[in-house]
Amino acid sequence: MWRITVANTCIASGSCVGIAPERFELDDVAGRAHPLTTDVDPDEAVLDAVASCPMEAISVVDLATGEPVEV
Ligand code: SF4
């Protein structure tokens, strides 16, 4: 299981939402994106979203090891 976190450095570019709309959505009030579900099964689309983020604001941790998931 992975845990997805979006830092407050997010600038709401929407890249993650465009790449993985089933994983991320934009919160217009907060002015940033957030994961639809925080804890998910491993999913390549999440890593694609991480790689697309211009602010490197998305982090993914493997809950089994506590280590960051490499993109
Ligand atoms: S790609 Fe990064 S900066 Fe853009 S909305 Fe997603 S988390 Fe925010």
* DSSP code at position 69: P
* CA-angle at 16, arms to 60 and 27, nearest 5°: 100
The tokens describing 34, both together, are 């957030």
Is 68 domain-assigned?
no
pLDDT value at residue 47: 98
Domain count of the chain?
Answer: 1
Is there a domain that residue 7 lies in? yes
Q: What is the DSSP letter of 61?
A: E
What is the rounded average pLDDT of the residues 11-23?
98
CA distance 10 to 50: 12
Domain that holds residue 56: 2-62
Residue 15 domain flag:
yes
| Percent above pLDDT 70 for the chain | 100
What band does 66 get if pLDDT is binned at 50, 70 and 90? very high
Task: Flag whether 70 is in a domain.
Answer: no
Does 29 have pLDDT greater than 90?
A: no
Using only the alpha carbons of the chain, give its radius of gyration. 11
CB of 10 closer than 6 angstroms to any ligand 1 atom: yes
Given this model, what pLDDT does residue 28 score? 87
Domain assignment of residue 26, yes or no? yes
CATH number at residue 39: 3.30.70.20
Nearest CA to ligand 1 atom 6: 16
Token readout for 64 is: 């089994």
Closest atom of ligand 1 to 24 CA is: 6
Q: Does residue 22 form part of some domain? A: yes
Q: Residue 8 above 90 pLDDT?
A: yes
